[in-house]
Structure 1
Amino acid sequence: MFKLFLYIGYAVGGLYTEQGSSQDILCATTNPVFGKTSSSDFGHLYGVEYDNDFFAPHANGEDMPCAVCNRKSTTSSIMIPGTSTCYPGWRTDYHGYLATEYQAHASGSNYICIDINPEFLVAGSVNTNIGRLVGPVIAKCGILKCPPYHDKYPVTCVVCSK
């Protein structure tokens, strides 16, 4: 599939043990430009690493890259959890598995969709457990209806555009 990238970068976020840490996972440029060179120690930005081997063999500890795709003003994009196919009239950008921070960590995180064929940063295989640690999201039956969902099954996702 042909993908138009605005830029490819580093997945970043706050430290998973810091309670006040931002919940967002961002895509930071690989070529940062700094204005000031000092500040008070207030918020932190760390890299993101895979916290287990679910997404690919030997993924645990690998650092996560990211990409921001070009977007035309007439294009809409949506991430749909629970499926790997787009609705009619929508184009599949990629599909994979829903991921987030571990539920017992002090800091929360937004859900993200990790491509079925994840990539890793070069020389990023040292498992530091510093920064964001992401893993798969599993379905939990109750208010979430089972069926059609299945308890403890990893949740798929798809990113679609139109």
Structure 2
Amino acid sequence: MSGDEKDAKPCSCPPGPRGPPGRDATAKIAPPSGAVFTRWGRAECPKTSVLVYEGTASGSSFDEPGGGGNYLCLPRQPAYRDPTEGTQPYRAYLYGAEYWAVDHAKQDTLHRRTMPCAVCMSVGRAAQFTMPARDYCPTGWTREYRGYLMSSHYKRSRTEFICVDGEAEGSERSSRLRKSSRLVPVEVRCSQEDRDGSFPCGPYKNGHELTCAVCTV
């Protein structure tokens, strides 16, 4: 080492620009996003989406006027917080949803069976809707699944219309006396004469069960 090197003083220059992070640097990765929908009648999601959770379809009893007007997909394992033991009179009640598909060739074997469900997310597709009266989606949309429209019996408590998978499955068969939320196929009521608030028959056939499709984009 020369004498000049020994006498050299440390550089007081400002630091240079920061380089890119190394491989071990902690980086925030954005979670996947997409449209969330319920697949009624099956406990798994279509191949076009990922499973959020699986559960059992539920709703208000067919013979009780109160409660919610929509169906819920209850998870297999609930998480309670400070529950009151025993049943209480000032509550809304939830019951398992069952198929009551009498005289419907495709769903007759499911009659009085409990309906499974799955909450799914279509990764990369942010919008979803249910297409009524068709089992296919508009151009540019992805069909998640297709099936049949179902709702409560027209003389029972009013609920919502949902799209139940065309290859639906069911669990144990119930008795006729058990309280449940009962779902039946939906058919069109139309007439050749425009009366009683109905719409004219034409492409729609009086008494034909309606199909449906769940679509995402």
TM-score under structure 1 normalisation?
Answer: 0.90
Worse overlay, 81-90 or 139-148: 139-148
Change (3 A) 1:81 1:145: farther
Shift of 1:93: 0.5
The one-letter code sitting in structure 2 at the alignment partner of 1:79 is T
Q: 2:153 aligns with which of 92, 95, 102?
A: 102
Contact kept, 8 Å, 1:62 with 1:127, in 2: the verdict is no
How far apart are residue 90 of structure 1 and its match?
Answer: 0.1
AA matched with 1:112:
I
Asked if 1:21 is matched to 2:76, the reply is no
Deviations 1:40-79 (A, max 9, x none): 4311011001113434342111100111112557511100
**Considering only aligned residues, what root-mean-square deviation do their CA atoms show, in Å?**
1.8
- The aligned length equals 159
Give 1:36 deviation, angstroms.
Answer: 2.1
CA contact (8 A) 1:22 1:108 kept: no
Aligned partner letter, 2:204: Y
Q: 1:92 aligns with which of 127, 130, 143?
A: 143
Unaligned stretches of 5+ residues in structure 2 = 1-45, 192-197
Q: Percent identity?
A: 27
Mapped partners of 2:184, 2:124: distance in 1: 33
Alignment partner of 2:77 out of 11, 17, 31: 31
Q: Cα deviation per residue 1:64-110 (whole Å; 9 max; x = unaligned)?
A: 011111255751110011101100000000111100000111x1110
Aligned runs of 1:8-157 on 2, under 5 Å? 8-38=54-84, 40-41=88-89, 42-53=91-102, 54=104, 55-72=106-123, 75-105=126-156, 107-121=157-171, 124-128=172-176, 129-142=178-191, 143-157=198-212
Distance in 2 of aligned mates of 1:71 and 1:57: 31
* Greater RCO, 1 or 2 (C-alpha within 8 Å, sep 6+): 1
